[in-house]
Amino acid sequence: MSLTLARRASAEFAGTALLVAAVVGSGIAAARLSPTDVGLQLLENAIATALALGALILTFGPVSGAHFNPVVSAVDWWLGRRAGTGLTARDLAAYVVAQTAGAIVGAVLADLMFGLPAVAWSGTDRTGGQLWLAEVVATAGLVLLVFALARSGRTSAAPAAVGAYIGAAYWFTSSTSFANPAVTVGRAFTDTFAGIAPASVPGFVAAQLVGGVVAIAALAAWYPDAARTADAVVVPHLTPETDTR
């Protein structure tokens, strides 16, 4: 792995870890602060996640693009593979490994911060056609949003727009919008408010991958030149030519 790719992969690792720590940690805090009100717990969890995601995009976007999501990275590779933009296959492999490892570490970190066992497999079953459909919708909408922002030259709005979308999707999807295979895997390692049983993970991940395919089809119809700006997803990252620090 080149130094540049190692730097970007480390940003994806740290960003995804902190994202999952925010998701899981705020879920634990919400359950403790509002033990009798599940709706309030979800609201607290959603607000914290949306705000943390926006801040993390601002922090890591200039380094790696702040994907934090294997589906976003895979679509970036798929669209840019012929145009010579976006991630290479080698980049994609490094990003997916970093994101998944980061998500697991983030869940462990959140558990430890709240005095819980580092790893406790979640017992929360999340399965059924309605939840899988919700994950298709949530993931497709997220991917469409980030590529539409890049194609229309509005990546500066990504922190607010992506954070707002995820915060809203907590409420308008029955699955509470995981929309991310790495985050889904990480959340299996915590038996808390935000957890998902390991047996439920494959169904969610499959639905998220389908959502990525749906997003590719939508982009082909509405943003046929999206591949030209794949380097700007989610936020344009520094290259050896533009990094003058």
Span 76-116, pLDDT tens digits:
999 998 788 889 999 999 999 999 999 999 999 999 999 99
| Torsions phi, psi for 180 (to 5 deg) | -165, 115
Of 185, 220, 221, the C-alpha closest to 202 is 185
Q: If 0-12 CB within 10 Å is exposed, 13-18 middle and 19+ buried, where does residue 31 land? A: middle
Tell me the mean pLDDT in the region 123-136: 98
Which amino acid, residue 212?
A: G
Tell me the mean pLDDT in the region 42-64: 97
Cβ neighbours for 155, distance < 8 A, ≥ 6 positions apart: 149, 232, 233, 234, 235, 236
Cα separation, 9 vs 92, in Å, equals 10
- The fraction of the chain above a pLDDT of 90, given in percent, is 88
Using the predicted structure, report yes or no on whether residue 232 has a pLDDT greater than 60.
yes
Using the predicted structure, report yes or no on whether residue 143 has a pLDDT greater than 60.
yes
Q: What is the pLDDT of residue 123?
A: 97
Using the predicted structure, report yes or no on whether residue 219 has a pLDDT greater than 80.
yes
Cα separation, 139 vs 211, in Å, equals 5
Q: What is the mean pLDDT of the chain?
A: 94
Tell me the mean pLDDT in the region 131-160: 96
From residue 196, alpha-carbon distances to 105, 128, 132, 148, 190 in Å are 16, 13, 13, 30, 8
Confidence of residue 43 (pLDDT cuts 50, 70, 90): very high
Using the predicted structure, report yes or no on whether residue 48 has a pLDDT greater than 70.
yes
Q: What is the pLDDT of residue 119?
A: 98
Task: For the domain made up of 3-232, give the CATH fold.
Answer: Glycerol uptake facilitator protein (1.20.1080)
Tell me the mean pLDDT in the region 133-139: 98
Tell me the mean pLDDT in the region 230-234: 87
